[in-house]
Amino acid sequence: MKDGRLLLKKTHTKGEPRRKYFFPGKVLEGEETLELALVKGFYEDVGIPCTVGGLSYVVESFRPSGGHEVGIYFLISTGQQVGRLDFKGRAEYVALDQLDESMVHPWVLVGKLSADLLQGRIGSASYLLSFEDI
């Protein structure tokens, strides 16, 4: 997060009116640790290396259309001035007030980040429950 904006991976499905955003990262593969998966996924999604900090949020999502996932979110550091980098179209900073629930998954995390930012508590370990389709 930087200046009230989130660094998000962007996708665009042909025929969809607007972009869909996801938090950078990836699904665990084989015997990967959470940290290794995040470092690899962040690099694949954003194109820059990162260092993993503390556990921030756990989001358990149940989709009304079927399916269940658990997202584990950490604070990360890039050691670089990320705002000046070219993400090669893979990611972008998006202002919190420019997002709505149809644009980002998981939406419940955006709401929690907004509330935590107002209270100066970004990164406070929290468990969130979500019922939303991707």
> Domain ranges in the chain?
5-52+78-121
Sign of CA pseudo-dihedral 108, 113, 118, 122: positive
What is the structure's pLDDT at 87? 63
**41-56 tens-digit pLDDT:** 988 888 888 999 889 9
Cβ–Cβ under 8 Å, residues 78 and 48? yes
What is the structure's pLDDT at 37? 92
What is the structure's pLDDT at 58? 93
**55-67 tens-digit pLDDT:** 999 999 988 888 8
**3-30 tens-digit pLDDT:** 778 888 887 667 766 668 888 888 888 9
* pTM exceeding the 0.75 threshold for the entire prediction: yes
3-state secondary structure (DSSP) of residue 8? strand
What is the structure's pLDDT at 131? 84
What is the structure's pLDDT at 80? 65
Between CA 51 and CA 119, with CA 24 as vertex, the angle to 5 degrees is: 80
**74-112 tens-digit pLDDT:** 988 887 655 555 566 678 888 888 888 888 888 888 888
